[in-house]
């Protein structure tokens, strides 16, 4: 009864700390062009995007990005004010309706145009948190401490996460190529040091989803979505156990994370990777973030979609049979999405 739906193509920009001189549309257009060329599809049954107007400081900034897609004759289109991984979820649900075969999903962000930490403060609840002005890194550091004190992790364990991510990122032509973390860096916000914090980057990414035979037609080895789920924890940071990610645990369980070979985790801080590994029950036999992850390119509003794309690419190139893409949104891993994909034959 459930339709088979797969990721059939994935394209991303070379993420940069600052995309000088390009508008969001100019940044996005080559990605859309490339994914159309790669799939040979010019018109999609559904189009859905993820972005954040506060990054550009302009209401309905996402509407302008439609110029990159080509919206005439009129297309069926939607937008989420979140990471584009949630746009992919919407497109997936739309494809389940059984009357269209393809969907285009894209996300983009140019955080370099403003003070990203202050932009993120605006997403906090307006009564108890936003008026105090806490920034994203200060809040993440609270979670890092809570996790370290419960799990016994040390600052060296965090640095090891950064070192591994950066080493992997240097092998990824789309990521930033960062030096190994220096052990003597001062705290940014204790217990986090600058290398514990993902570098925000400008960029864009796109994915094409297709259903059934259309997927087999567009892609030699489609990455079939066998489970996808997203969950949210309480917004109030003091109302949940910050040392764990219960929403990731539930989403992972319902999406069928058990047995994946590769996991791309949307960890924007080193300790988040430790929390996510624990929540998803990933053992040492699972390859985590072979792309370098968000720690080497945190393209805001696209980094979660990139995780799904990178994971799918391991199916496309035949190096893995079952993979997991994870996306996160909100303060301290508040919302989490888990997408499990498998190659053929399906098991």
**Judged by CB under 8 A, which stretch of 43-51, 60-68, 112-120, 217-225 contacts another protein?**
112-120
By residue count, the chain amounts to 347
303 binding another protein? (CB under 8 A) = no
Question: 41 φ, ψ to 5°?
Answer: -105, 130
Q: Which is nearer to another protein, 47 or 329 (CB)?
A: 329
Least separation in angstroms between residue 168's CB and another protein is 27
183 binding another protein? (CB under 8 A) = no
CB atoms within 10 A of CB 78: 12
132 binding another protein? (CB under 8 A) = yes
Among 45, 169, 191, 321, binds another protein (CB under 8 A): 191
3-state secondary structure 202-256: EEEEEEEEEEHHHHHHHCCCCEEEEEEEEEECCCCHHHCCCCCCHHHHHHHHHHC
Q: Which is nearer to another protein, 33 or 58 (CB)?
A: 58
21 binding another protein? (CB under 8 A) = no
182 binding another protein? (CB under 8 A) = no
8-state DSSP, 116: H
Return the structure tokens found at 91.
């497109």
CB atoms within 10 A of CB 12: 27
Among 237, 297, 333, 338, binds another protein (CB under 8 A): 237
Q: Which is nearer to another protein, 1 or 239 (CB)?
A: 239
Least separation in angstroms between residue 219's CB and another protein is 41
330 binding another protein? (CB under 8 A) = no
1 binding another protein? (CB under 8 A) = no
176: CB partners within 8 A, 6+ apart: 15, 16, 17, 169, 199, 201, 296, 297
Return the structure tokens found at 253.
């369980």
Among 126, 152, 173, 347, binds another protein (CB under 8 A): 126
Least separation in angstroms between residue 308's CB and another protein is 28
Q: What is the spatial distance between Cα 301 and Cα 289, in angstroms, rounded to a whole number?
A: 18
142 binding another protein? (CB under 8 A) = yes
CB atoms within 10 A of CB 234: 11
**Judged by CB under 8 A, which stretch of 71-79, 131-139, 293-301, 337-345 contacts another protein?**
131-139
The closest alpha carbon to 174, from 91, 296, 256, belongs to 296
**Judged by CB under 8 A, which stretch of 6-14, 29-37, 53-61, 306-314 contacts another protein?**
53-61
Contact positions vs another protein (CB under 8 A): 54, 57-58, 114-115, 117-118, 121, 126-129, 131-135, 138-146, 149, 186-187, 189-192, 234-240, 242
């Amino acid at each position: 009864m459930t339709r088979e739906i797969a990721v059939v193509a994935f394209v991303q920009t070379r993420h940069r700390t600052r995309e000088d001189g390009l508008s969001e549309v100019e940044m996005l257009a080559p990605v859309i062009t490339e994914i159309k060329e790669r799939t040979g599809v010019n018109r999609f049954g559904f189009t859905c995007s993820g972005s954040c107007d506060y990054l550009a400081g302009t209401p309905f900034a996402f509407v302008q990005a439609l110029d990159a897609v080509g919206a005439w004759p009129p297309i069926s289109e939607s937008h989420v004010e979140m990471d584009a991984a949630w746009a992919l979820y919407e497109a997936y649900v739309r494809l389940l309706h059984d009357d269209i075969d393809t969907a285009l999903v894209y996300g983009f962000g140019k955080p370099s145009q403003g003070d990203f930490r202050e932009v993120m403060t605006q997403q906090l609840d307006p009564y108890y948190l936003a008026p105090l002005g806490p920034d994203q890194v200060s809040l993440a550091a609270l979670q890092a401490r809570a996790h370290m004190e419960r799990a016994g992790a040390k600052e060296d364990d965090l640095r090891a996460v950064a070192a591994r991510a950066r080493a992997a990122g240097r092998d990824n032509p789309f990521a930033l190529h960062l030096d190994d973390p220096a052990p003597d860096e001062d705290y940014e916000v204790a217990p986090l040091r600058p290398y514990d914090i993902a570098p925000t980057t400008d960029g864009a990414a796109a994915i094409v989803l297709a259903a059934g035979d259309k997927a087999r037609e567009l892609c030699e080895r489609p990455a079939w979505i066998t489970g996808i789920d997203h969950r949210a924890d309480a917004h109030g940071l003091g109302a949940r156990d910050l040392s764990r990610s219960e929403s990731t645990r539930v989403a992972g369980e319902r999406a069928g994370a058990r047995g994946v070979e590769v996991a791309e985790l949307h960890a924007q801080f080193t300790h988040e990777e430790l929390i996510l590994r624990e929540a998803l029950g990933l053992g040492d036999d699972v390859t985590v973030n072979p792309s370098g992850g968000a720690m080497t390119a945190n393209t805001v509003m696209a980094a979660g979609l990139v995780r799904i794309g990178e994971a799918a690419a391991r199916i496309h190139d035949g190096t893995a049979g079952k993979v997991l893409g994870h996306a996160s949104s909100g303060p301290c891993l508040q919302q989490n999405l888990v997408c499990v994909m498998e190659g053929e034959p399906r098991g």
